[in-house]
Amino acid sequence: MAFIRALGYLAEYIGGRSMKIRVDKPVKIRDIIKLPLDLEGRIIILVDGQPSTLDSLIVDSDRIVLMPIISGG
Amino acid sequence: MKGWTGKFLRVDVSERRCKVENYDENLALNFIGGRGFAVKLLWDELPIGVEPFSPQNKLIFAAGPLTGLPIASSGKMVVASKSPLTGGYGDGNVGTMASVHMRRAGYDALILEGVSEKPVYIYVEDDKVEIRNASDLWGLSTFEAERKLRENVGSDCGILVIGPGGENLVKFATIISQEGRSGGRPGMGAVMGSKKVKAVVFKGTGEIPVADMDELMKLGRMGYESIRKASGYDFWIRQGTMMTVEWCQENSTLPTYNFREGVFDFAENVNGYAMEKVKIKRRGCPYCNMQCGNVIEDAEGRSSELDYENVTMLSSNIGVGDIRKVGVLNRICDEMGIDTISSGNVIGFIMEASEKGLVNEKIEWGDFEKAKELLYDISYRRGIGNLLAEGVRKISRKLGEGSERWAMHVKGLEISAYDCHAAPGMALAFGTSPIGAHHKDAWVISWEISIGRFKYDDIKVDKVLEFQRIRGGMFESLVTCRLPWIELGFNLDWYVKFFKAATGVNLSLKDFFEVGDRIYSLIRAFWIREYKGDWNREMDTPPTRWFEEPLTKGPLAGKKLDKKLWNELLSKYYERRGWDERGVPRKSTLKKFGLDFTIPILEKYVKLEE
Ligand code: SF4
């Protein structure tokens, strides 16, 4: 299972703060998580701690973190 | 001039004299407003090396050409002075109706000077300016004082007030407005207290001059609409900056136990979701449609307005893992008029000092009752509070025994709420922030994580500079809030258009950035002048802890900053700024930005490189 964690408002796009998903073959993140266009430049994606993009391929066992780019308090 | 009122109000409380002054258009074009005006006025008017609490120090309340106009998040004001905490340039940004009313009264800035014999407050109603007796307000909390003032002056005005912290010259006392909006971390409240000025009331009934009001109104409406429609807006309205707790915990940047760690075991109890459970309302700055002040019912049944910085510094950094208790600590800081960030920082420091046996008092991590007591002791300078009120740099110098290594400050200003063991770019931002360690200018962690947090690349230097130009230069001189830009993707071009409509002047983003660079070099010159040339790159270097003591918890256990590589980043930063290896601006840089007037003065103290 791939584990997806979504921070802040991104939780609303995966239906919760985290989810597990079965990935049978490598798949692009954008194919499993649908985000509005205006968010594309406003998010950070880490796959197992490595900077990634919506086009990165993930496999079962990956830990994906989606987070908004924010600017602090 | 349009956009700017073209006028400053000068009030001397020693002589009880008030004067309205027209200022030169070139000042507006070269420094824009806010922080730009503040540093230029301080450079020009303060005697070199002035004692921060002397009558000759000045407290500046400065707006910018966008302040108080019906456009996104424009109800802000800069408060600035020579800082009693750092000994250098200090400023802060506060969202308040006072900014709107000051502009409507016809002023872009108030310059407060002298020292009054007795407590006073300044009452400004358009061109009527009075210095009024405040004996009955002195000693009151900021909340009580503001309420009492409103009984006298009515509700249609803006009020800035200090609490016991400012009155008792706590070095990190702030200026408060509207029961929770606070600004001026480096002791601006203490400077106001030293002048015996309890409050400033602005009531303005005029109109702010605008070059093209129709266009401005149209842009204003479109801007608000764009913010409201941005993805993430609804969540922002729910949590505001409080979502950063979860974010920092995930990324091991949550300041924990005096910045020893980047994760906190009880983060889930103090994050945005925990806050939502006890939230009772939302409030914020004027003209903002994304108001981020989350008001909760605290553990004592009172209202407390929370945001990320104050929550984290008063929770994970001192080990308190209950949002309602944190609410109490936060509310006490606001009532007393002391800075939440520095308060959490010095309390974290003294808890560690107690743990290490450096002080006799037993002050344990997470001891909420003790933390509460300490906040009052700081505000009234009682017992150990008297030492804590001096700020962490001075406390550590007094305690010695190597505590300087974990005194978490830069240039004497306590570090705000981001741990940088694994964020060299953010450590550079803290190091080079123009008021001492604060996040308001360049908060680059997010971006840094997106490109590889452990790298020490030139692009990190460029990013810090870019953010400093935008946030520290443009937003702090236009004086509008920095949050819509990144949080809700509000494009910077909006500000170029707002500025054109307000002033009739065409400036590009590049022009604004140049103004930002000018302001930065002048602020740096001010520090060097006030430190009488006793300046080197250590002044821009974060505390030893981040370089020598690795994180021990969380996924990044073992990580720390690399001093050699970090120093290379700092050198590159200096090079790009046109400063030498000591962090002193080169002559050519000062000339390039039209700051030639600083050269003869700086040359009295340091040798300037060409
Ligand atoms: S976003 Fe928050 S800080 Fe900025 S103007 Fe609005 S209420 Fe004030």
Q: How far is CA B52 from the centre of its chain?
A: 18
Q: What is the DSSP string of B498-560?
A: HHHHHHS----HHHHHHHHHHHHHHHHHHHHHHTTT---GGGGPPPTHHHHS---SSTTTT--
Contact A67 B247 (CB under 8 A): yes
State the closest ligand 1 atom to the C-alpha of B293, by its place in the atom list counted from 1.
7
Counted residue by residue, chain A has a size of: 73
- How far does the centroid of ligand 1 lie from the alpha carbon of residue B227, in Å? 12
Residue A70 has pLDDT above 90, yes or no: no
Is residue A44 assigned to a domain?
yes
pLDDT category at B417 given cuts 50, 70, 90 is very high
Residue B52 has pLDDT above 80, yes or no: yes
Select from B290, B309, B439 the residue to mutate for testing ligand 1; criterion: most ligand atoms less than 8 Å from CB. Answer: B290
Residue B481 has pLDDT above 90, yes or no: yes
- Are B535 and B527 in contact by the 8 Å Cβ rule? The answer is yes
DSSP single-letter state for residue B460 = H
Whole-structure pTM value: 0.97
- End-to-end Cα, chain B, rounded Å: 37
Residue A63 has pLDDT above 90, yes or no: yes
Is residue A11 assigned to a domain?
yes
Q: How far is CA B340 from the centre of its chain?
A: 11
pLDDT category at A71 given cuts 50, 70, 90 is confident
> Residue B391, class by beta-carbon neighbours within 10 Å (0-12 exposed, 13-18 middle, 19+ buried)?
buried
Residue A38 has pLDDT above 90, yes or no: no
Pairing assessment for the beta strands B197-203 and B279-283 based on DSSP bridges: unpaired
Q: What is the mean pLDDT of chain B?
A: 97
Mean pLDDT of B243-271: 97
Give the separation between CA B409 and CA B349, rounded to whole angstroms.
Answer: 11
Residue range B161-189, pLDDT digits in tens: 999 999 999 999 999 999 999 999 999 99
Is residue A42 assigned to a domain?
yes
pLDDT of residue B50: 98
**Ligand 1 pocket: which residues have CB below 6 Å?**
B 73, 95, 284-285, 288, 290-293, 481, 483
3 state SS of B43: helix
Contact A73 B439 (CB under 8 A): yes
- Are B27 and B128 in contact by the 8 Å Cβ rule? The answer is no
Task: Tell me which of A4, A9, A40 to substitute to probe the interface with B (most B C-beta atoms closer than 10 Å).
Answer: A9
Other C-beta atoms lying within 10 Å of the C-beta of residue B409: 26
Residue A72 has pLDDT above 90, yes or no: no
A72: contact with B, CB 8 A cutoff: yes
- Kindly report which listed range (B24-28, B445-449, B472-476) carries the lowest average pLDDT score: B445-449
Best CA proximity match to B524, nearest among B411, B407, B404, B445: B411
CA A73 to chain B, closest CA, distance in angstroms equals 5
> What percent of chain B is predicted at pLDDT more than 70?
100
pLDDT of residue B513: 97
Is residue A50 assigned to a domain?
yes
Give the number of beta-carbon pairs within 8 Å between A and B.
Answer: 87
A67 CB neighbours in chain B (<8 A) are 247, 250-251, 446
Domains and CATH numbers, chain B: 7-203 (3.60.9.10)
Q: ipTM of the assembly?
A: 0.95
Residue A73 has pLDDT above 80, yes or no: no
What Å distances lie between residue B384 and B18, B34, B221, B380, CA to CA?
40, 36, 52, 11
Is residue A63 assigned to a domain?
no
pLDDT of residue A57: 95
Q: What is the DSSP string of B118-182?
A: S-EEEEEETTEEEEEE-TTTTT--HHHHHHHHHHHH-SSSEEEE--HHHHTT-TTB-EEETTTEE
Residue B551 in tokens? 């994180």
Show which of residues 46-65 on chain A sit within 8 Å of chain B, judged by CB atoms: 46, 49, 51, 65
Contact A9 B230 (CB under 8 A): no
DSSP single-letter state for residue A8 = G
Choose the closest CB to A71 out of B234, B417, B483. B483
Number of domains chain A is built from? 1
Give the separation between CA B484 and CA A73, rounded to whole angstroms.
Answer: 12
Residue B371 in tokens? 């933390």
Is residue A40 assigned to a domain?
yes
Task: Tell me which of B275, B290, B450 to substitute to probe the interface with A (most A C-beta atoms closer than 10 Å).
Answer: B450
Residue A50 β-bridge partners: A47
Residue B199 has pLDDT above 90, yes or no: yes
Select from B291, B305, B485, B487 the residue to mutate for testing ligand 1; criterion: most ligand atoms less than 8 Å from CB. Answer: B291
pLDDT of residue A41: 83
Residue range B560-580, pLDDT digits in tens: 999 999 999 999 999 999 999
Residue of B nearest to A47 (CA): B450
Task: Please list, residue by residue across B552-576, b when 16 or more beta carbons sit within 10 angstroms of its beta carbon and e when fewer do.
Answer: eebebeebbbeeeebeebbbbbbee
Residue B155 has pLDDT above 90, yes or no: yes
Domain that holds residue A15: 2-25+34-57
Residue range B102-119, pLDDT digits in tens: 999 999 999 999 999 999
DSSP single-letter state for residue B415 = P
Is residue A65 assigned to a domain?
no
Other C-beta atoms lying within 10 Å of the C-beta of residue B538: 11
3 state SS of B205: coil
